Amino acid sequence: MADSVPVSAFVCGHPIAHSRSPKIHNHWLRQYGIAGSYVPIDVLPHDAATFFSTLRSQGLAGGNVTIPHKEAAFAAVERRDEAADLIGAVNTLWFEDDLLIGGNTDALGFAANLDEFASGWTQSGPALVLGAGGAARAVIHALKQRGFRDIRIVNRTVARAVELADRFGMGISAHPPAALRELLSDAGLLVNTTALGMAGKGDADAMAANPEMLPRHAVVTDIVYVPLETPLLAAARALGLKTVDGLGMLLHQAVPGFERWFGVRPNVTRELRDMIVADMAPTASVRSS
């Protein structure tokens, strides 16, 4: 690697200024002494297909894809990994034998975050997933892969939950918010994937998912990470439940891409996490209980 042309990678989305990915990857480039670059690129929705088809000629080795281009990237690639196919979205791009490949690392990031902060989480019991959007698909894929046999999806628009239950098959059920009280009573894992809880959006109880109704051993996680401690996590922590914030998912999903483009498998460290948390201030407050 030392005597070759520096590798360039990117994160594309619209808007893209808010993305923390450049901070994560540039931290690793510095840490491992790699003379590469990782840049944010704002791509308008109607330019996405052209952007993906010209990566090679732009001298880019690959990159990350964020909202709203994950589905466009899915359509643009020449081959996909299994996770991308199952999730229906691509968040990581790279070249192999001159072919543009699309992968999805969100499921891996979700599971790695819980592995780090809530050991034993796979044995906690039925999982309840709030939301049925793109991120929920990655979460459900991860839950299935990690052996969950009872996954309950609750979504404001029930039809979207039904669609996901059909997509992922056995052991997955779809429910309206009105069923929450009953569904929470024996759930071992509560995952919020809705935008509720994001800074400035919504209040303490995402679709009235009151963590008070959960068993005492339950783990509560929120994939929203701005603020770091969402109202749902704060309520669960106040009850003494195990909570895990969503920042680790973002950090861990970045690992496979960095390894593909720059040839080193990076570590998710406390130092990296602290750096991103500091960058998020003043909205952030550190919490992974």
Amino acid, single-letter form, for residue 128:
L
Q: According to CB under 6 A, which one of 19, 122, 253, 288 is a site residue for ligand NAP?
A: 253
Q: Is 242 helix (H, G, I), strand (E, B) or coil?
A: strand
Nearer to ligand NAP, 131 or 211 (CB): 131
Distance CA 170, CA 43 (A): 38
Work out whether 103 is an interface residue with ligand NAP (CB under 6 A). Answer: no
Rounded to a whole number of angstroms, the minimum distance from the CB of residue 4 to ligand NAP is 31
Q: According to CB under 6 A, which one of 39, 179, 198, 199 is a site residue for ligand NAP?
A: 198
Catalytic member of 23, 70, 144, 201: 70
Rounded to a whole number of angstroms, the minimum distance from the CB of residue 277 to ligand NAP is 13
Pairing of strands 92-96, 99-103: antiparallel
Distance CA 154, CA 279 (A): 33
Q: According to CB under 6 A, which one of 196, 209, 228, 235 is a site residue for ligand NAP?
A: 196
Q: Is 45 helix (H, G, I), strand (E, B) or coil?
A: helix
Distance CA 167, CA 170 (A): 9
Q: According to CB under 6 A, which one of 108, 250, 272, 276 is a site residue for ligand NAP?
A: 250
Token digits for 198? Answer: 């994001």
Amino acid, single-letter form, for residue 143:
L
Amino acid, single-letter form, for residue 141:
H
Work out whether 284 is an interface residue with ligand NAP (CB under 6 A). Answer: no
Rounded to a whole number of angstroms, the minimum distance from the CB of residue 137 to ligand NAP is 8
Work out whether 131 is an interface residue with ligand NAP (CB under 6 A). Answer: yes
Find the binding residues for ligand NAP in span 211-230 (CB under 6 A). Answer: 223-225
Work out whether 136 is an interface residue with ligand NAP (CB under 6 A). Answer: yes
Nearer to ligand NAP, 155 or 243 (CB): 155
Work out whether 61 is an interface residue with ligand NAP (CB under 6 A). Answer: no
Angle between the N-to-C axes of helices 270-280 and 21-31, in degrees from 0 to 180, rounded to the nearest 10: 140
Q: Are 40 and 22 in contact (CB under 8 A)?
A: yes
CA distances from 218 to 15, 41, 176, 192, 237 (A): 36, 40, 21, 14, 11
- Assess whether 23 carries a catalytic annotation: no
Residues with catalytic annotation? 70
Which residues are near ligand NAP by CB under 6 A?
106, 109, 131-136, 155-157, 160, 193-196, 198, 202, 207, 223-225, 246, 249-250, 253
